[in-house]
Amino acid sequence: MKCIICNNDKEPSEFSKEHVIPESAGSSYFIDTVCKDCNNLLGRTIDNKFLDNFFVKLYLSKFNIKNKKGKLPKLWTTLSARKDSKIKGIPQYNPFNNKFNGWKYNNAITDLKGKAHLVFDSKEDIEDVLREFGDDELPKDEIRKKFYEGDYSDEHQELVLHREVYLEELFFEAIKIAYEFASSILGENYLNDPFAIEFREILLNSSNYTFDDINKYFFNFNYEDSIFKDTLHSIFLMRVENSLVVSINLFNCFVFSVEVSKNLNLIPKNLFGNFLLVNLDESFSKFNINGDDLKILELKDRLKGT
């Protein structure tokens, strides 16, 4: 049995399930033509980077797709304390003077530039914090009054978080999806195609490639809703002019069109296309569309607005 990634013959026991679209992205569709070593490699170098992309995390949260541990992705990292970068905390304001005073951790006492400041998460813990100080150390009644009665929200400094987001990880994932889907449809005859050989090299050594190196395989990339109802992801293999193209729609938003071959003889002449629809409930449907009117009608029933 030949692995479609390393192109080596291996025993059946050396293969494992390879999810064409990562399972943690809400897809249950898998192939069994990838060996365990290559499966692990793709997970580390392609899938995990894709799942860690900020845009992907946003859509995982939007569709309530939890990871294997049953948790939604964390969109923002926790800010670290100024005094000790190893201590995690959250920004706080001093209720006594309304000034931003750093990050809160442990027992609500932080040092900022050598000075002690008092911070409270809520009214419930103010007494616990004040109890740690003597009456001669702090004007407790004045602090309580300011905390409970004062309206100083307008005086708070605005906390602005900046995040740089790159889409390169999505394009490498699209190469993987396009190649694996094309291989599953076209079979071993596709493995010797010049495009297939190049895709395998990219997937095996992705760290050696940049977006500029792989951009030539993409017909287009845009943002648009899927034409199918109740669909999370979709993959289409079809003829486009003189090429075979895999069109990928991820999260009903990101659309990639990847050229996978110029050999039109790899698919029957009467074949319109091969379709994979991953539903919102993570199930999937496959369609092989040619001249079968019933199949076309079934597909049209899935279209939005019907």
> What is the pLDDT at residue 73?
83
Going by DSSP bridges, is the β-strand pair 218-223/15-19 parallel, antiparallel, or unpaired?
A: unpaired
Query: Which tokens sit at 83?
Result: 């005094």
Tally of residues, the chain: 306
> Largest Cα–Cα distance of the chain, in whole Å?
90
CA distance to 14, 236, 277, 303, per residue, from 226 (Å) = 37, 12, 10, 9
- Rg over alpha carbons for the chain, rounded to the nearest Å, is 27
**In the 3-class helix/strand/coil scheme, how is the chain assigned residue by residue?**
CECCCCCCECCHHHEEEEECCCHHHCCCCEEEEEEHHHHHHHHHHHHHHHHCCHHHHHHHHHCCCCCCCCCCCCCCCCCECCCCCCCECEEEECCCCCCEEEEECCCCEEEECCEEEECCCCHHHHHHHHCCCCCCCCCHHHHHHHHHHCCCHHHCCCCCCCCCCCCHHHHHHHHHHHHHHHHHHHCHHHHHCHHHHHHHHHHHCHHHCCHHHHHHHEEEEEECCCCECCEEEEEEEEEECCEEEEEEEECCCEEEEEEEECCHHHCCCCCCEEEEEEECCCCEEEEEECCCHHHHHHHHHCECCC
pLDDT averaged over consecutive 10-residue blocks of the chain (306 residues)?
95 95 93 96 96 90 85 65 39 49 43 44 60 67 62 43 76 97 93 97 96 93 77 90 92 93 86 82 79 50 48
Q: What is the dihedral of CA 54, 60, 62, 63, to 10 degrees?
A: 160
What is the rounded distance in angstroms from the CA atom of residue 162 to the CA atom of residue 80?
A: 15
Tokens representing residue 32 in the block = 């069994």
Backbone angles phi, psi at 17, to 5 degrees: -65, 130
The per-residue pLDDT for range 247-300, each reduced to its tens digit, is: 999 998 899 999 999 999 998 776 777 888 898 888 888 877 765 544 554 555
Residue range 163-173, pLDDT digits in tens: 667 889 999 99
Q: Are 15 and 6 in contact (CB under 8 A)?
A: no
272 Cα distance to chain centroid: 31
What is the pTM assigned to this prediction?
Answer: 0.71
The β-bridge relationship of strands 30-35 and 15-19 is antiparallel
